[in-house]
């Protein structure tokens, strides 16, 4: 279903994301970098979100055979996420004034962008969706679910750390040892299982496995 070039790039992006995840885990948990330790469930969620939002969506948006409106929705969402990523990194590591409510606001705006884009596609579609269009719609459905989950995570984390996410001693990640993060980690693990299973199935279909 996906083009041959996209399939090659997909493998490369999965490998790149895995490598970066390993290096990030070492940086936070072994070298004890700023922001605190990160638990395995939270690291898995972070890698999932980065892969889907920042890498997979723009890759699919580049598919020439996809409906132009769906390409716009995926590309616009990815661009909005990349802009957020740059701003968040700057606020975390330079000004050190990042707060979860900023991310929650961005997630809500992203959700409005995706849902509004899907509504526009439904109104303007003048032909039955192709198999690639249906696949992209499933991806956007998954994106919608992850945005809702991210809003929940951010709200729970902000409450758990009592707003202490700024300054030199700001806490940015939930670790596996502190009692205040146990509930968050349990919820994250419970969500990771179906999310990863859904993504694996989606990628298998996009790759053409069994087709």
**pLDDT in 10s for each residue of the chain, 211 residues:** 899 999 999 999 999 999 999 999 999 998 888 899 999 999 999 999 999 999 999 999 999 999 999 999 999 999 999 999 999 999 999 999 999 999 999 999 999 999 999 999 998 888 899 999 999 999 999 999 999 999 999 999 999 998 899 988 899 999 998 999 999 999 999 999 999 999 999 999 998 864 4
Name residues whose C-beta falls within 8 Å of residue 146's C-beta, 6 or more positions apart in sequence.
48, 49, 52, 53, 195
What are 154's two structure tokens? Answer: 């951010």
Q: How far apart are CA 93 and CA 95, in angstroms?
A: 6
3-state secondary structure of 1: coil
**Considering its fold, how many domains does the chain have in total?**
1
Phi, psi angle pair for 99, to nearest 5°: -130, 140
Q: Which domain holds residue 79?
A: 4-207
Which position has the token pair 């790039």?
9
Q: Which residues, at least 6 apart from 116, have a Cβ–Cβ distance to it below 8 Å?
A: none
- 163 Cβ contact partners less than 8 Å away, ≥ 6 residues apart: 99
User: What per-residue confidence (pLDDT) applies to 127?
Assistant: 86
Residue 114 CA to chain centroid, in angstroms?
14
- The C-alpha atoms of residue 17 and residue 193 are separated, in whole angstroms, by 18
CA distance 209 to 7: 12
Predicted TM-score (pTM) of the model is 0.94
């Amino acid at each position: 279903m996906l083009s041959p070039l996209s399939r090659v790039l997909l493998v490369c992006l999965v490998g790149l994301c895995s490598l970066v995840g390993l290096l990030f885990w070492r940086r936070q948990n072994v070298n004890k970098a700023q922001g605190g330790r990160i638990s395995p469930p939270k690291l898995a969620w972070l890698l999932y979100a980065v892969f889907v939002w920042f890498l997979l969506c723009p890759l699919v948006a580049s598919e020439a055979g996809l409906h132009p409106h769906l390409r716009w929705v995926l590309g616009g969402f990815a661009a909005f996420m990349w802009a957020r990523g740059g701003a968040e990194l700057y606020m975390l590591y330079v000004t050190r004034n990042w707060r979860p409510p900023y991310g929650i606001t961005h997630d809500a705006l992203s959700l409005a962008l995706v849902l509004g884009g899907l509504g526009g596609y439904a109104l303007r579609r003048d032909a039955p969706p192709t198999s690639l269009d249906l696949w992209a719609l499933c991806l956007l459905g998954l994106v919608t679910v992850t945005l809702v989950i991210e809003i929940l995570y951010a709200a729970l984390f902000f409450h758990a750390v009592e707003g202490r996410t700024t300054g030199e001693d700001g806490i940015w990640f939930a670790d596996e040892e502190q009692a205040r993060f146990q509930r968050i980690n349990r919820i994250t693990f419970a969500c990771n299982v179906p999310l990863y299973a859904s993504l694996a199935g989606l990628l298998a279909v996009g790759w053409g496995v069994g087709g």
